[in-house]
Amino acid sequence: MKKTMLFLMMILLLAGSASVFANDVIIDSDGNMITGASATDGNLEVTGASGEDGIVGSTSGTGAAGVYGENTTSGNYGLLGDDNYGVYGNSSGWAGYFQGNARITGNLTLDGLLLGYTETDPQVGTLINGKWCTSNGTSVNCTSATPVTSETDPVFAVSAASGITSAQISNWDTAYGWGNHASAGYDTTNDSWTGTGNVYTTSGNVGIGTTAPYYALDVRGSVSSYLGYF
């Protein structure tokens, strides 16, 4: 009896091009497993033992991936273990979405635009190959090994001095060189102490009519007094 039942089971397993095990789980003659039965989490659920992978997909050659998944309604698909990418996503919307933190140990390359981000460490910032420009033209160049900024004194850009024109700077240089202060718009010393009024001071001595006063007050020429006398 036992031999008869064993023989019937062997015939059932070998009959046809496919073997039916339970519900809609089928293994065809090529070793492919097909299932269409409904389940809680998916049509195929594999639970690995402790320390073992649940599913291992291995392949080789160009254009092949270890795991391929597609949504036939939207046309979105993703690959695991592609010959060019470890993880690849193709979608008209979000090709990749991480609900949580993501860590990148290598370089991050952006072929598109960085539409927005939240900066929690302004001392580090996010460096993009190119320049960041502010409304006043200040730029940060990130194409060099060490990022540099065109503004060496950021306080200057917000001060009133940042509006000084080149002509005003030239006037200041003239004033600094003891030029014509009046025309430059700055306070100036009385002409009588510059020699143009024939009054000179040397080593604390004041000279009137002489460029080399010898006494504390040295007058060369006539002196006229109406309120007193010398």
Predicted confidence at residue 194, as pLDDT, reads 57
For residues 98 and 105, what is the distance between their CA atoms, to the nearest angstrom? 16
Q: Give per-10-residue mean pLDDT for the chain (230 aa).
A: 49 50 66 63 70 82 87 90 89 88 84 70 52 58 53 59 72 63 55 61 80 85 70
CA distances for 30 relative to 12, 18, 19, angstroms: 17, 9, 11
Residue type at position 133: C
Contact 80, 66 (CB under 8 A): yes
User: Which DSSP string do the residues of 211-226 spell out, in sequence order?
Assistant: SS--SSEEE-S----S
pLDDT recorded at residue 159: 63
The two tokens of residue 100 are 């949580």
| pLDDT of res. 76 | 92
Q: How far apart are CA 27 and CA 24, in angstroms?
A: 10
- The answer to whether the CB of 119 falls within 8 A of the CB of 126 is yes
